[in-house]
């Protein structure tokens, strides 16, 4: 099995001594590439230390390629772990972790199905216990910036909601233990941008290998434009994002600048990525997640 990259740092040691350190918390393999692939590639290329924590292996995901549909349960999870390793390589990210270790928390499936009640699934995890594993990563990496989902998980998936809860709780617990994360962002897409992108998709759909178009409100994190605080131009990293998404072949079919999930409904592949700052001081017209961050935090001072 392809292993995820990890620098193997000691607690409290600044990650790669990099001045800027970004932590992203996601629910399943593929979420990182779809939501933040261009952002991750950009900051990795600029020399920031980018750490990804994925909470489950996505064992209940629906598989797209017919030749891989025999993969279910743990076998699918193991395969998706390999896809995740390939994706982060495409993004240039050298630090990817699984919350609590591989297989600690199982995929919960979509909201409202019996799988949500599995005692081993992430949805059923004790939030403080799960957050404790993330706190250890925070104290090791000492990020100034954290990115995760909103309180609805972007679109209501139980694992995404739980990832939000665990991340926000871990931020508070880490502060109690001496490291304050300066800025916390939620993934967003401004509604006007989504509407314009779907209008272009409608015109181009006949030439695409997808059955139909998704709807704007199927895109996780769509909000009114005024809630957007930060815009990350990742167009220079469009190829890296698309390659990372292709690495998740069980879950994503890519036909740039569009993609589809297992429902075969096309949606835009955004290479400019959008965020809402929910903790920290926003800078006017932010185009950098680290805007206003005190870079003396590399030693833990001022953090």
Q: Is 31 annotated as a binding residue?
A: yes
Determine contact, residues 89/99, Cβ cutoff 8 Å.
no
285 to 105, 182, 281, 291: CA distances (angstroms): 38, 18, 12, 10
Q: Around 7, how many Cα atoms within 13 Å sit in the side-chain half-sphere?
A: 19
Q: Is 160 annotated as a binding residue?
A: yes
Helix axes 238-247, 31-45, angle to 10 degrees: 140
The residues, ordered by sequence, that sit 6+ positions from 28 with a Cβ below 8 Å of its Cβ are 54, 55, 56, 57, 58, 61, 80, 107, 159
209, burial (CB in 10 Å: exposed 0-12, middle 13-18, buried 19+): exposed
Token pair of 226, please? 């005024």
Determine contact, residues 121/115, Cβ cutoff 8 Å.
yes
Task: Give the CA angle between residues 71, 72, 75 to the nearest 5°.
Answer: 70
Burial 103-139 (b: 16+ CB within 10 A, else e): ebbbbbbeeeeebbeeeebbbebeeeebbebbbbbbb
Binding residues: 28, 31, 160
Binding residues for Zn(2+): 28, 31, 160
């Amino acid at each position: 099995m392809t292993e995820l990259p990890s620098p193997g740092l000691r607690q409290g040691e600044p990650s790669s001594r990099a001045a800027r350190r970004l932590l992203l918390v996601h629910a399943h393999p593929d979420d990182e590439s779809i939501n933040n692939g261009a952002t991750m590639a950009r900051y990795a290329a600029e020399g920031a230390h980018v750490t990804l924590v994925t909470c489950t292996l996505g064992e209940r995901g629906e598989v797209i390629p017919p030749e891989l549909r025999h993969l279910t349960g743990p076998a699918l999870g193991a395969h998706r772990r390999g896809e995740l390793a390939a994706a982060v390589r495409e993004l240039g990210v050298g630090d990817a972790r699984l919350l609590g270790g591989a297989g600690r928390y199982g995929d919960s499936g979509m909201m409202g199905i019996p799988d949500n009640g599995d005692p081993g699934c992430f949805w059923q995890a004790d939030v403080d216990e799960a957050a404790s594993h993330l706190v250890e990563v925070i104290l090791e990496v000492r990020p100034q910036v954290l990115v995760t989902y909103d309180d609805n998980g972007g679109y209501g998936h139980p694992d995404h909601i739980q990832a939000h809860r665990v991340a926000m709780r871990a931020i508070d617990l880490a502060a109690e233990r001496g490291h304050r994360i300066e800025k916390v962002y939620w993934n967003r897409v401004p509604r006007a941008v989504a509407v314009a992108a779907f209008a272009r998709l409608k015109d181009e759909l006949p030439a695409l290998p997808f059955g139909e178009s998704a709807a704007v409100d199927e895109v996780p994190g769509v909000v009114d434009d005024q809630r957007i605080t930060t815009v990350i131009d990742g167009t220079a990293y469009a190829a890296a994002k698309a390659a990372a998404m292709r690495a998740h072949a069980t879950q994503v079919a890519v036909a740039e600048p569009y993609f589809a999930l297992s429902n075969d409904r096309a949606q835009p592949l955004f290479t400019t990525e959008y965020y809402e700052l929910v903790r920290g001081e926003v800078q006017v017209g932010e185009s950098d997640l680290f805007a206003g961050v005190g870079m003396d935090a590399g030693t833990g001072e001022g953090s």
